[in-house]
Amino acid sequence: MAKREYNIAVKKDGKFYVGYCPEIPQARGQGNTKAEAIKDAKRAIRLCRAFLELL
């Protein structure tokens, strides 16, 4: 898997933070803190990329 940089935007939604990747709309994460939301979104990006490589 080639290295690539993606943007992660974070916004507060109620009592949680939501991180999402504009380049891969399906890649979203959430957490109690911004850091947790970013970490979860990075995991979602990796999973989406792995799935797309299988196609």
Determine the pLDDT at residue 31: 99
Say which residue the tokens 């803190």 belong to.
Answer: 33
- Beta strand ranges found along 1-55 (DSSP E): 9-13, 16-21, 24-31
Query: What pLDDT band is residue 53 in, cutting at 50, 70 and 90?
Result: confident
Give the C-alpha separation, 41 to 54, whole Å.
Answer: 20
Q: In this structure, what are the phi and psi dihedrals at residue 21, rounded to the nearest 5 degrees?
A: -110, 115
Per-residue pLDDT tens for 1-51? 678 899 999 999 999 999 999 999 999 999 999 999 999 999 999 999 999
Both structure tokens of 3: 């290295």
What's the rounded Cα separation, in Å, for the pair 55 and 49?
10
pLDDT at 33: 99
